[in-house]
Amino acid sequence: MNRIEERFVRLKRDGKKGFIVYIGAGDPNLEATRRLALAFEQAGVDVLELGVPFSDPLADGLVNQLAAQRGLESGTTPPKVLETVAAIRKDSQIPIVLYIYFNLIHRVGMEQFITDAARAGVDGLLVLDLPPEEADNYEALMRQAGLCHIYLVAPTTPDDRIELIVKRGSGFIYYVSREGVTGMQNQVASNLAQQVAKIRTHTSLPIAVGFGISSPEQAKLVGSVADASVVGSAVVNQIAELGRSPELVVGVSRFVKSLADAVKSA
């Protein structure tokens, strides 16, 4: 069983909610990414999303755009991200998803990239700009490699399209709780429970909710209605603030643990 699927089976068995963290790979450098991944596992993170730096991250708000820029400036490339995943795998079995734009996969060649990702120890891909209608070959290659292909559902997604998307996905469904790009918000969307319930009528896959969650209170609230909370920009912002400080890993992990503890108490 894939590590992502295995983790959600275990969470369900234990009556716990999942906690997913997003960070930009290579921000501020790939050694920091490796160390953060290991620390996050100890802090209670269930799935790690690594954003592969891209020059035109259209789904991302300013915080994550700047993280991608810092990743590119540190020399981070898709092959180097995979090398870092392989390095993480020497010490950890934390489930890892690459958050990636399709152009980066296309440039390498889809079959080659998926093969290389699986070999490195990646568990799933979340391709931001690949719609299910154009993903037949991609999904077949992902299944063959044993990787989860994770799809997004948005607040504006019509019911018939939700049904199409969730039937095509695997691992978990990522519900984008707000319209627009990634970024920290002051409150959770008021219709969240209703939207999650609507998605549940179409799938038995776990539903993870992200985009805008920035505090332990919000993470706990999301955990009370969904199967997992996803926090990205708020963690990336911590990395930006601590930068190359010797306290980077300790400081960010402390914040991440406060979020993880909140989700686990939901």
Q: Give the pLDDT of residue 61.
A: 84
d(CA 89, CA 94): 8
Q: State the alpha helices, DSSP H only, in the chain.
A: 3-14, 30-43, 62-73, 78-89, 102-108, 110-120, 136-145, 159-168, 192-200, 216-225, 233-242, 248-264
Query: 217 with 96: CB under 8 angstroms?
Result: no
Evaluate if residue 185 carries a pLDDT over 70: no
Instruction: Look up the pTM and report it.
Output: 0.95
134 catalytic? Reply is no
Give pLDDT tens digits for 40-60. Answer: 999 999 999 999 999 988 878
Q: Tell me which of 60, 179, 217, 227 is the catalytic residue.
A: 60
d(CA 86, CA 239): 22
Evaluate if residue 182 carries a pLDDT over 60: no
Query: Which sequence spans correspond to the domains of the chain?
Result: 3-264
123 catalytic? Reply is no
Token code pair at residue 36: 């953060």
User: Domain 3-264 adopts which CATH fold?
Assistant: TIM Barrel (3.20.20)
- 190 pLDDT band, cuts 50/70/90, is confident
What's the number of CA atoms in the CB half-sphere (13 Å) around residue 62? 2
Q: Tell me which of 49, 116, 160, 227 is the catalytic residue.
A: 49
